[in-house]
Amino acid sequence: MNILDKIISDKRKEVALRKQLIPVSQLEQSVLFDRKSPSLAQALRDSDTGIIAEHKRRSPSKQVINHNLNVQDVATGYESAGACGMSVLTDGKYFGGSLDDLLLARAASNFPLLRKEFMIDEYQILEAKAYGADVILLIAAVLSQSEIRSLSEFAKTLGMDVLLEVHNLEELQKSIMPSLDMLGVNNRNLKTFEVSLDISKNLSAEIPDEFVKVSESGISTIEAIKELRPFGYQGYLIGENFMKTDDPGASATEFIHKLR
């Protein structure tokens, strides 16, 4: 069993438990549930930099990245830096995140928030909306075509954007459908954890123009972004690069300033 299979197996148990603890009706009564979500896809189209900055304490590949920061400061810093949006990892067991991180980021900022999570159930999309997210992530590697369709269409009924993440051509081909807003190419091989920008370059021509193209993982330099721009990418998800510093907001500010 690879790490991804293990994460999904644990996630099924976790979601089953959460459903017992908090009924759907309670999520739908949340103060944030009827809030109109700003569009990350539109923010990326309108931006000259396209940075989606991430809040991530640790990961299976890197262990601890940063446990010392509070998420409100990170959100405020990223927003004032000019990031288009913020990705908030909510998985607890493997990434040290929680839904409370999303809530705190929402309280501190107005820009689009992505719930970065291993989505397998509509219930998690209701949670995302109730806790202040505007965008959900779907990972093609762990979902069937019909699951991608039903989950993405459900997110659209809630007024949320959908970012679908692929790692190869086969995942991309099964995933292209009108209920997606953004197609993200993960440059990290989930089995080996090796990273290569060639994955984004090779898949770019296969992504139809109506979707915003996002490149994820292993983007730590201005050069990497300049290398990917000619391939039509408008979004760049940057996590560890900012989070491994003492002040992710300042780090993002400097990066975006140089990029401009």
Is 116 tagged catalytic?
yes
Active-site residue, from 79, 117, 165, 240: 165
Catalytic one of 56, 117, 152, 213? 56
- Can 217 be counted among the known catalytic residues? yes
At 207, which amino acid appears? I
Task: Compute how many other C-beta atoms are within 10 angstroms of the C-beta atom of residue 58.
Answer: 18
Question: Out of 39, 66, 109, 116, which one is annotated catalytic?
Answer: 116
129 a catalytic residue: no
**Is residue 54 flagged as an active site residue?**
yes
Annotated catalytic residue, options 186, 200, 241, 251: 186
Catalytic residue among 175, 217, 241, 251: 217
Find the catalytic residue in 127, 216, 240, 251: 216
Nearest to 49 by CA among 237, 195, 231, 198: 237
CA 231 to CA 215: how far, in whole Å? 10
Contact between 225 and 53 under an 8 Å Cβ cutoff? The reply is no
Catalytic residue among 11, 37, 39, 54: 54
Q: Is 165 a catalytic residue?
A: yes
DSSP element (H, E) containing 151: helix 145-157
The contacts of residue 17 (CB under 8 Å, 6+ apart) are none
**Residues with catalytic annotation?**
54, 56, 116, 165, 186, 216-217
